[in-house]
Structure 1
């Protein structure tokens, strides 16, 4: 049985809350100039990304270094856009919070404060990605993409094929003294970018569908907490699974509600 410390459970609970907040916060709609890029093929990003990244790092560990630069260059603009545009209630002035977080992350890399600022930037960027993808792809393919990603994640983790590449990616830095933005680190626990990416994507889908995000966010938090009880037996868990389960529950609930309305007698 794995030894789970109190600090780890606090850390993982913070990360669970982060996933829930990413379901809650995305808004809907994309700029008109992006409409020309609409295609179902974007739905492949979720399942293909995890398979390609794991395989690439396993074959060429140096790929992890490139991914850290990719994150360093793209996550901060994504965070700025999240606060200034992508999240519900966003205002351009709020983007200054992301600027401040980036400064802290750059100046105080190894401290808990710096790690928290880096984690904030990474999480915020998922709001932007979720809103953009949900605006570019119909909901059904995106939901299937998230479920497919969770299945792949599940197979890789419990087949012990993810842990090595994941450790390589977590250890990689763009350069000494620069923050790592390819995962969320809250001192006591870590969560990969893909795990929070799918949460932001689910939030974006719900926003586009015009569905209430708060109940879905609460459902995700409860599912994540229940799923994490498995840490008493396993050292690593795929955090995409609770998001996929939430999608299935929400979809079944929606279909039942639609059927009930269709069968209700007219008055």
Structure 2
């Protein structure tokens, strides 16, 4: 692994950790009518359907770039103005400024950084919304299922081709790519950061501490990345799934050892 790649992957690992830390809890009342456990299928089905669709019809990747271009900036705006902890409407102006920078020169490091900033922020909004719409357990199982599917596709060399097609796709010349995170020396797919934001949203809804979970995710990501010594591509959803298992085991153990309240 080159020094530049290690720096890049370290930035991406820190991004995943921050996405666990930052989401807040709660959704607008008018969305309550949409509450259903079926939304938990979004995580595992998204990767399977996208990979299969691009493999069968490569032009699907072009459509996904437009989908990201249209939805990621509003998602980033909502993250700064509402979805993240400490959000204020005025902070949403930062998303507007970042989008302007992303448009100036799409191949320059500042523009790539601004695009990555927008993409990551949109995951905070998506994580908070889904965590507010779906009970925690189906979402956790959905993340684990997504990680299993991701690992099967990556280690079976079935993801690399469609992923390369998606990474090469652009909505139009001069427009930014918002369907992945690019920090010059390393890239991470949208699904990898989406699950981090989703875990953060779940923890926020459950009222559990997000700081220790974020540190756990960062440590697991760094340990997992040692496999880059032997593999060129890794499923970055796996550390998030492992973090869920560890957090649940710790929570159950703490609950079982907690003294019962005295009875009157």
Class of the TM-score when normalised by the shorter of the 2 chains: over 0.9
Q: Distance in 1 between matches of 2:56 and 2:72?
A: 25
State the match for 2:178 in structure 1: 181
Residue 257 (structure 2) aligned to one of 246, 252, 260: 260
Question: 2:27 & 2:102 partners in 1: Cα distance?
Answer: 29
- Report what 1:52 is aligned to: 49
Matched, 1:36 2:25: no
Q: How does 1:220-259 map onto structure 2 within 5 Å?
A: 220-259=217-256
Could you tell me how far 1:262 is from its partner in structure 2? 5.0
After superposition, the C-alpha distances for 1:99-134 in whole angstroms (9 at most, x for unaligned) are 000000011211000000000000000000000000
CA distance in 1, matches of 2:117, 2:260: 46
- What does residue 15 of structure 2 align with? 18
- With normalisation by structure 1, the TM-score equals 0.97
Q: TM-score, normalised by structure 2?
A: 0.98
Confirm whether residue 147 of structure 1 aligns to residue 144 of structure 2: yes
Report the Cα distance in structure 2 between the residues aligned to 1:143 and 1:30, rounded to whole angstroms.
Answer: 19
The separation in 1 between residues aligned to 2:110 and 2:41, in whole angstroms, is 35
Task: Tell me which stretches of 4 or more aligned residues in structure 1 moved more than 3 Å.
Answer: 262-266
Q: CA RMSD in A?
A: 1.1
Aligned counterparts of 1:110 and 1:145: Cα–Cα separation in 2: 35
Q: Which residue of 1 aligns with 2:199?
A: 202
Secondary structure, counterpart of 1:237 in structure 2: coil
Structure 1 residue 168 corresponds to structure 2 residue 165: yes
After TM superposition, give the deviation of residue 261 of structure 1 in Å.
1.2
Is there any run of 5+ residues in structure 2 with no aligned partner, and where?
Answer: none
**In structure 1, which of residues 188, 212, 215 is the aligned counterpart of residue 212 of structure 2?**
215
Counterpart position of 2:131: 134
Indicate which of 163, 166, 189 corresponds to 1:192: 189
